[in-house]
Amino acid sequence: MPSPSVQSSPKTFIHPRQKLKSLAKRACSLWVVVYVDQPKKPGEPGFRPISELIQRAHGDVDACIEGNADGVVLINEFCSLEEFEPCVKSVREAYPELKLGVNYLGDERETYGFGESFRLAKDYSLEFVWTDFAGVDDIVERAPVSLHDIEAVRPDSVFYCSGVHMKYSTLKDQSKPIEKSALQALGFVDGVIITGPKTGVPCPPENVKRVREVIGNYPLGLASGVSADNVREVLPYIDFALVASSLQNSDKRIVKEKVSDLCRVLDEKMPQK
C-alpha cells in the first residue's frame, strides 16, 4: 500500500510587484552594480588582497548611498567565491539598512550562479538576487538548466531577477522572439531583465516596448547601457535598472554625482496607482 503523501502548508503568494515595492524609493528603482574585481592572479603585480577588495566595495557603496540610489548589487569579476563572500559579509554588516543584492557569476561547479547567489542572500539577509541567465533560453554559452531546480532553492522573500536574450549569449534558435522568452520566465523570476548586445550599449527601445506589452504588470528591468542621457525614452516601460558603466570613473569606481544625475531623471517617472 503506498505511503500517504506528506501534507505541507500552502505558501502565501506575494506578487513580484509587491516585493519590488517594498524595496523601492521611486517608481523606477536604481540598483547600482558594484564590482568586486580582481584584475590579477595571486602573486602577480596588482593582485588585490581581500582587505583592499572590501575597502573598494565600501567606497562604492558610500557613493551609491550619497547619490540616493535605491540599492546596490555586488557582482564578482575575475575573483573567486572565497574572495567575494567576505566583501558581501562586510558590506552587509557595515550597512545594515541598505537594500543589498548579489550576482555571483558562477564557477565550474555551477555555471549559472544561482545556487551560491541564493545561499549568499540567505546567509547575509540580502533583499534581491540577480543572475544573468534565467534558464528559459537554450544558449550556446551554457548547458541547459532545470527551472525547477532553480525554483527549489530560491528564497521566497528575495526579489529574484534574471535575464532573457541577454548580452554575451547566443540563442541556439535565433528566430525565438524576445516576447516568448519573457513570457516563459514569468513565475520563475520576480523580475524579467533585458539588455543591449554588450556592456554599455542600451537595449533597443523597441525591444523594451515589445516585452512590456506581453508581460503586463510584471516587473521589467534593464541591465546594460542605462544612463541619464538615454533612459527617458524607456522610462515609462521599466520598473528597475541595474547600472554600472555610466556611473563609473576610469578606474571602474562609482561616482556619486553620476548616481545623483541618473536618480533625478528616474524621479520623473510617476508612481503607479
Domains in the chain with CATH codes: 16-263 (3.20.20.70)
- Tens place of pLDDT for every residue, the chain, 273 residues? 555 555 556 677 889 999 999 998 899 999 999 999 998 888 888 899 999 999 999 999 999 999 999 999 999 989 999 999 999 999 999 999 999 999 999 998 899 999 999 999 999 999 999 999 999 999 999 999 999 999 999 999 999 999 999 999 999 999 999 999 999 999 999 999 999 998 889 999 999 999 999 999 999 999 999 999 999 999 999 999 999 999 999 999 999 999 999 999 999 987 754
**Residue 12: predicted pLDDT:** 79
Q: What is the distance of C-alpha 258 from the center of its chain? A: 20
Q: C-alpha angle 220/226/227, rounded to 5°?
A: 140
- Cell reading at 226: 542605462
Q: What is d(CA 211, CA 121) in angstroms, rounded to the nearest whole number?
A: 28
Q: What is d(CA 89, CA 54) in angstroms, rounded to the nearest whole number?
A: 9
- Whether pTM exceeds 0.85: yes
- Cell reading at 46: 596588482
Dump the DSSP string for 138-180: -BTTS----HHHHHHH--TTSEEEEESS-TT--BSSTT--HHH
**Residue 272: predicted pLDDT:** 56
Contact 127, 98 (CB under 8 A): no
